[in-house]
Amino acid sequence: MAASAPISKMIYVGPFVHSRSLTELEIGENGAIGVDENGIIRFVERDFHEGFEKLMAYVEENKDEWVHAKVVKIEGNGFFFPGFIDTHVHAPQHPNTGLFGKTTLLDWLKKYTFPMESSFSSLPRAHRVYQNFVSRTLSHGTTTCSYFATIHVPATNALADICLKRGQRAFVGRVCMNSDLSPEYYRDESVESSVRDSKASIDYIRSIDPNGEIVKPIVTPRFSPSCTPDCLSAMGKLAQETDTHIQTHISENKGEIALVQELFPSSKSYADVYDTHGLLTPKTILAHAVHLSPQERKIILARKSKISHCPASNTAITSGCAPIRELLNEGHTIGLGTDISGGFHPSILENVRQAIWVSRHLAITTNDSAKLSTEEALYLATRGGAAVVGLEEKVGGFEVGKEWDAQMIQLGEVKQEGNEDGIFEEGPVDVFGWESWAERVEKWVYSGDDRNTVAVWVRGRLVHNTSRYTGAEGTAAP
Ligand X SMILES: Nc1nc2[nH]cnc2c(=O)[nH]1
Q: What span, in angstroms and rounded, lies between the C-alpha atoms of 148 and 92?
A: 8
Nearest-approach distance from CB 349 to ligand X, in angstroms: 20
Of residues 313 and 466, the one with the C-beta less far from Zn ion = 313
**Which residue in the set 96, 103, 113, 142 belongs to the binding site for ligand X (CB under 6 A)?**
113
Nearest-approach distance from CB 342 to ligand X, in angstroms: 3
**Which residue in the set 249, 353, 383, 440 belongs to the binding site for ligand X (CB under 6 A)?**
249
Of residues 79 and 223, the one with the C-beta less far from ligand X = 223
41 within 8 A of 394, measured Cβ to Cβ: no
472 within 8 A of 10, measured Cβ to Cβ: yes
Q: Residue 193 burial by CB count (10 A; 0-12/13-18/19+): exposed, middle or buried?
A: middle
Region 309-348 residues binding Zn ion, contact defined as CB under 5 A: 339
Q: What span, in angstroms and rounded, lies between the C-alpha atoms of 35 and 46?
A: 15
**Which residue in the set 9, 90, 174, 402 belongs to the binding site for ligand X (CB under 6 A)?**
90
Of residues 248 and 465, the one with the C-beta less far from ligand X = 248
Tell me the C-alpha to C-alpha distance, in Å, between residue 205 and each of 91, 197, 210, 467.
17, 12, 8, 33
Nearest-approach distance from CB 337 to Zn ion, in angstroms: 7
SS3 call for 78? strand
452 binds ligand X (CB under 6 A): no
Beta bridge partners of residue 12, listed in sequence order: 33, 72
Nearest-approach distance from CB 287 to Zn ion, in angstroms: 5
Nearest-approach distance from CB 105 to ligand X, in angstroms: 6
Nearest-approach distance from CB 340 to ligand X, in angstroms: 9
Of residues 90 and 152, the one with the C-beta less far from ligand X = 90
Tell me the C-alpha to C-alpha distance, in Å, between residue 305 and each of 5, 77, 167, 218, 402.
34, 39, 27, 14, 23
Closest residue to ligand X using C-beta atoms: 342
Region 139-178 residues binding ligand X, contact defined as CB under 6 A: none
187 binds ligand X (CB under 6 A): no
SS3 call for 435? coil
Dihedral sign (CA 96, 97, 101, 102): positive
DSSP designation for 188: -
* Binding segment toward ligand X, per CB under 6 A, in 105-113, 178-186, 259-267, 383-391: 105-113
Dihedral sign (CA 220, 223, 226, 230): positive
Of residues 252 and 275, the one with the C-beta less far from ligand X = 252
Nearest-approach distance from CB 8 to Zn ion, in angstroms: 41
* Binding segment toward Zn ion, per CB under 5 A, in 67-75, 180-188, 253-261, 283-291: 283-291
Tell me the C-alpha to C-alpha distance, in Å, between residue 213 and each of 85, 299, 311, 406.
16, 31, 29, 16
Q: Of Zn ion, ligand X, none, which one does residue 223 interact with (CB within 5 to 8 Å by kind)?
A: ligand X
**Which residue in the set 342, 396, 397, 448 belongs to the binding site for ligand X (CB under 6 A)?**
342
Region 251-310 residues binding ligand X, contact defined as CB under 6 A: 252
Give the residue among 76, 100, 95, 83 at the shortest CA–CA distance from 140. 83
130 binds ligand X (CB under 6 A): no
Q: What span, in angstroms and rounded, lies between the C-alpha atoms of 427 and 24?
A: 26
Rounded CA Rg of the chain: 22
Dihedral sign (CA 339, 344, 347, 350): negative
Nearest-approach distance from CB 159 to ligand X, in angstroms: 15
Q: Of Zn ion, ligand X, none, which one does residue 151 interact with (CB within 5 to 8 Å by kind)?
A: none
Helix (H) or strand (E) holding 81: strand 77-82
405 binds ligand X (CB under 6 A): no
In 222-277, where do the E strands start and end? Answer: 245-250
**Which residue in the set 80, 223, 264, 469 belongs to the binding site for ligand X (CB under 6 A)?**
223
313 binds ligand X (CB under 6 A): yes
How many residues touch Zn ion (CB under 5 A)? Answer: 2
Q: What span, in angstroms and rounded, lies between the C-alpha atoms of 187 and 181?
A: 9
DSSP designation for 69: -
247 binds ligand X (CB under 6 A): no
Of residues 172 and 441, the one with the C-beta less far from ligand X = 172
246 within 8 A of 218, measured Cβ to Cβ: yes
Give the residue among 468, 356, 455 at the shortest CA–CA distance from 143. 455
Of residues 82 and 346, the one with the C-beta less far from ligand X = 346
- What is the Cα 340 distance to its own chain's centre? 11
Nearest-approach distance from CB 47 to ligand X, in angstroms: 45
Closest residue to Zn ion using C-beta atoms: 339
Judged by the rule CB under 6 A, the positions of this chain that interact with ligand X are: 90, 105, 109, 113, 222-223, 249, 252, 313, 339, 342
Judged by the rule CB under 5 A, the positions of this chain that interact with Zn ion are: 287, 339
